[in-house]
Amino acid sequence: MTLKELEIFLILSENENVKKTAKLLNLTQPAISLAIKSLENELNVKLFDRIGKRLVLNEKGRIFKAKIYNHFVALKESKNIFSDELIVGEFRIAMSKTIGNFYMPKIILEFLKKYPKVKIDREIINSSNIIKKILNGDIDIGFVEVEFDDINIIKEKIAVDELIVVTSNKNLNKEYFIDELFNKKWVLREIGSGTRKMFIDSLGDLKKNFKIFIESTEIEETKNLLLNDKDLLTCISKYAVENELKTSLLYKVKLRNFEIKRNFYLIYHKNKYQSVLFNEFKEFVKLPI
């Protein structure tokens, strides 16, 4: 079992395609197939199910991947232990929609400028799915906007966000109790959204009288709906409407005795191997933007 065989196995497990893996590693397709066959022969077990043109990790393959991943990263890193270029490599992150679209882009851009030999595979999904991916070992780091506790997950606060009620109707310029606005048409994100959950939970007993007019799956969709109907309201991150507030396309509705603040968290599995790259990125994210 060689380091190269393990690298081929891990990359193939991510894209499930021999041709793509060969291209990424600058190898021939037969070389990829031979390496996997050698690995399976040594372990005396099949690691992939052959489904059409795809090679999909089976239950044995998933166990093997979980066991070797941290050790593989550590071994690769040790090859560069006397090098000045320790901040190299690739890792996987997932971010909630608010964090991914409005908070993290500048941070990621600056990090990649500083460390051009790093590749960050990123996806934007809701917070509940990010937590599942951390627990399954599918990603290295997650960024979420919900409060939760899990003994297997480490969470570190990186920022404080404020949720505000906004509208395109500038005539809603007095101060309201939140339930005085229940007669308006409300747009909220889909179930699983951290923003939606926090807003609904903040209503307390009033939530039984609250009705959602329409759900949206994307923040930009929510803003477009508001811009096209002055009767619509939403509760949204201040980060997400920063530009619209500055240009007076949207307006913050003043609320009496109603304030929602939340933390943005960086999360990772408690058993995650913390490489030099991992720790450098983690600390970089905590710097003020």
* Distances from the Cα of 26 to the Cα of 19, 53, 185, 204, 267, angstroms: 10, 20, 56, 58, 34
What's the confidence (pLDDT) of residue 85?
56
> In this predicted structure, what is the pLDDT of residue 226?
95
All structural domains of the chain with their residue ranges: 3-78, 89-158+264-285, 160-261
Q: How far apart are CA 277 and CA 256, in angstroms?
A: 46
Question: Residue 248 region, left (φ>0) first, then alpha (ψ -120 to 50), else beta?
Answer: left
Q: What are the structure tokens assigned to 118, written together? A: 């790093």
The answer to whether 159 and 264 have CB atoms below 8 angstroms apart is yes
Report the pLDDT value the prediction gives residue 152, as an integer from 0 to 100: 92
For residue 269, CA distances in Å to 63, 132, 144, 190, 263 come to 16, 11, 14, 26, 19
Residue 183 corresponds to which tokens in the numbers above? 């007669």
Taking the C-alpha atoms of residue 259 and residue 121, their distance in angstroms, rounded to an integer, is 35
Smallest CA-to-CA distance from 102 within 278, 274, 222 is with: 222
Q: What is the mean pLDDT of each run of 10 residues along the chain (289 residues)?
A: 80 80 81 83 84 78 82 70 64 92 93 90 90 90 91 93 94 92 93 86 93 92 94 94 94 94 92 84 82
Pick the CATH number of 89-158+264-285 from 3.30.360.10, 3.30.565.10, 3.30.450.20, 3.40.190.10: 3.40.190.10
What is residue 79's predicted lDDT score, i.e. its pLDDT? 62
Give, in words, the CATH class of 3-78.
mainly alpha
Judge residue 118's burial from the number of C-beta atoms within 10 Å of its C-beta, 0-12 exposed, 13-18 middle, 19 or more buried.
middle
pLDDT of residue 258: 93
CA atoms 128, 134, 136, 140: torsion sign: positive
> What CATH code is assigned to 160-261?
3.40.190.10
Per CATH, 3-78 and 89-158+264-285 having the same topology is answered no
Per-residue pLDDT, 89: 80
The per-residue pLDDT for 53 is 72
User: Is the separation of the CB atoms in 71 and 270 below 8 Å?
Assistant: no
Distance CA 202, CA 217 (A): 21
